[in-house]
Structure formats: C-alpha cells, structure tokens
Homo-oligomer: A and B are copies of this chain.
Amino acid sequence: MGEKRSDTKDKILEAALKLFSRKGFRETTVKDIAKEVGITEGAIYRHFHSKDEIIQELLSSITKELREEIQKAIDEGGSEEETFTKIVEALIRYAFTKPESFRFLNLYHLLKDYPRITHLPGELVLKFLNNMYAKGKLSTHPEIALAVITGSVERIFIFKERNFIKHDKNTLKEQLIKTLQKALTPKNPT
C-alpha cells in the first residue's frame, strides 16, 4: 500500500539511466527519455522539475545502492583478508549485474565537478583499507590501494563490455581478486 507510488516516475528513472549511461548526459534529451518511456516530454515534468533533477536522483540512488553492497560485504565479518576479497567481489558483481548504474557512476564522476553528495561508496572502502593499513595488512597507502582497486574494476568492466577481453566473467572475477590480493597484501612469510 502506497507501494505503487508513481509507477511512471520509476519508468522515467529507468529509461534515463539506460540512455544516460549509453549516450552521456548532454546527448540524451528529455524527449529521448520520454519516448523510451512511452510518454511525452511534458509528462516528465510532472515527476521531475528538471533534467538535472533526474540525474541527481539517479546519482543518489545508485550511490546508495552500491554503498549498501559494500556495507554488506564489510558487515559479513571474517578476517581482513576475507573481507577484502568480499569487497572486491561486491564491486565486480555490481559492475556486471548493474552495468548501466556502474557506467553512470563512472561517467558522472568523470564529467561533473566534485559530487554534491557526501557519502561515496569509495569512502566506505577507504575506511576499511585504513583499518587494514593500521594493522599492517595492506602493503601500500590506503588511497593508492583504493585507486588500484576501483580503477582496475572499472577498466576490466569496460574492456569486457566492449568485447576487448574475451574471458568469461567468472574468470575475470577470480583473476582480478587474485591479482589485487597479490598487489595489496603483504607477502606472507612462512
């Protein structure tokens, strides 16, 4: 009850996400979005005050969603090493199961000035990495580790999306986790 609140609004967000992530913000017009939904331009403005509002709403819901995935990985408990793996897994999984959302995020952060929203998913990861670093379980500075992790995931995702990498997604996931572990955790002496 009160659940079906604005079916259309969701459809608009869905359509907008698809188009923005594919074509970019400027090259996607309000008319494009309306056509994709099957309504007219004017109708969009019943649900959103502006095109930018759509972008902001997408940004914050996607950000929230990804943050929750990461939080889940952290909350599940286990050793630092296990959690590390789970976080990387969550990132890759998110990229591959919600490619449009993932692309949207990358696009947004590359194009728009520093985000107005506060709690970026990366912050959660960074907090965890800081922790690892303090315990001597991270072999480089946390910010650098974060860059290596997120940069690698994004690039793997793009390569796969564009068919530049032929390996299947599972292989990619395994290899990437293994590689990042090697890269970022200290060599276990005996």
Whether, in the assembled complex, A106 has its beta carbon less than 8 Å from a beta carbon of chain B, the answer is: yes
By the criterion CB–CB under 8 Å, are B182 and A139 in contact? yes
Q: Is the CB of A176 within 8 A of B144?
A: yes
Say how many copies of this protein the assembly contains.
4
A180 to B182, CA, bound (A): 9
A26 at interface by CB-CB < 8 Å: yes
Partner of A187, one of B140, B153, B165, B187: B187
Instruction: From A107, A147, A150, name the one whose CB has the most chain B CB atoms within 10 angstroms.
Output: A147
B151 touches A156 (CB 8 A): yes
User: Are B24 and A140 within 8 A (Cβ)?
Assistant: no
List the 6 shortest-distance A-B pairs measured between CB atoms, nearest first: A151-B155, A183-B183, A151-B151, A26-B26, A147-B155, A143-B165
